[in-house]
Amino acid sequence: MAQTPPTTDFGFERVPAGDKARRVRGVFDSVADRYDLMNDLMSAGTHRLWKRFTLALANLRPGQRALDVAGGSGDLAAGLARQVGARGLVVLSDINAAMLARGRDRLIDAGIVGNVAFVQADAQCLPFPDKSFDCITIGFGLRNVTDKAAALAAMRRALRPGGQLLVLEFSHPRLPGLKGLYDAYSFQVLPRLGRLVAHDEASYRYLAESIRMHPDADTLLKMLQDAGLEACRYHSLAGGIVAVHRGYRC
């Protein structure tokens, strides 16, 4: 008897596990040119504060090495590059070529060159030696990964002993009354905004759905621990809409 192939979530839809990466690539191919503008519009600019908070937790020293996984258009990578300075190195990686090109162009335009490298890579099987980085970040990318446990294990493997993983991601609202407002915004306003600005309603409907399918903060904390990270904890932001998880390789 033939076995049923494994499936995974693509928003609220169940799809073959091997098909999710292709579908996610299609989403980001579509929105790459308007990605930064949409981030500002969707969050009223507060995504910059969330990223600033994450970078403050990174607290890297000059000369250290960092990796930004699923780094998109390079906001976190730019901040990490400023922390490590000319003697350090930041690798910006993304599985999507269009987003990686967008990030490279933005960093060059900002004058951030010489201490940044760009690698197209799958978060589930990072092409870096063990114990390569003092800090690894992934901002709003983990929910798009097919096998989140494999990605967390790959990031832990690439950390040096004492190195820190920071996961900035949407989570589940905790404030009373916030969930209803957040759902109305996500499923009514956000797709319309995507249609008007990015000319792509479906991709932003997927993004809203993918947030709902992502593990809540406590479940993700357990996933970091299961990946072998130590001293794990998280910070809830914006009433629980966003969380920053952190853990260390000992």
Judge whether residue 165 has pLDDT over 60. Answer: yes
Q: How confident is the model at residue 5 (pLDDT cuts 50, 70, 90)?
A: confident
**pLDDT at site 132:** 98
Contact 110, 36 (CB under 8 A): no
Question: Of 163, 118, 171, 143, which Cα lies nearest the Cα of 27?
Answer: 143
Residues facing residue 243 across a β-bridge: 169, 236
200-224 residue pLDDT tens: 999 999 999 999 999 999 999 999 9
What's the burial of 4, exposed, middle or buried (CB within 10 Å: 0-12/13-18/19+)? Answer: exposed
pLDDT score of 94 = 97
The confidence score (pLDDT) of residue 63 equals: 98
User: Average model confidence (pLDDT) for the chain?
Assistant: 95
Per the listing, tokens 């980001």 go with 28
pLDDT at position 180 over 90: yes
- Could you report the per-residue pLDDT of 45-87, keeping only the tens digit for each? 999 999 999 999 999 999 999 999 999 889 999 999 999 999 9
Global pTM value? 0.96
31 pLDDT above the threshold of 60: yes
Residue 69's pLDDT is what? 98
**Regarding beta strands 13-16 and 7-10, do their DSSP bridges make them parallel or antiparallel, or are they unpaired?**
antiparallel
Name the residue with higher pLDDT: 3 or 141. 141
Quickly state the pLDDT bin for 2 (edges 50, 70, 90). Answer: low
Q: How many CB atoms lie within 10 A of CB 28?
A: 23
Residue with tokens 């446990």: 149
Domains and CATH numbers, the chain: 7-175+205-248 (3.40.50.150)
Question: Phi then psi for 49, rounded to 5 degrees?
Answer: -70, -40
Beta strands (DSSP E) in 6-123 are: 7-10, 13-16, 65-69, 89-94, 116-120
Token duo for residue 204: 């932003």
| In the predicted structure, residue 127 carries a pLDDT above the cut 70 | yes
The per-residue pLDDT for 3 is: 67
Q: What angle do CA 76, 82, 84 make, to 5 degrees?
A: 100
Q: Which residues, at least 6 apart from 77, have a Cβ–Cβ distance to it below 8 Å? A: 68, 71, 90, 92, 103, 107, 116
The answer on pLDDT for 88 being more than 70 is yes
pLDDT for res 160 = 98
Q: Is the pLDDT of residue 1 over 80?
A: no
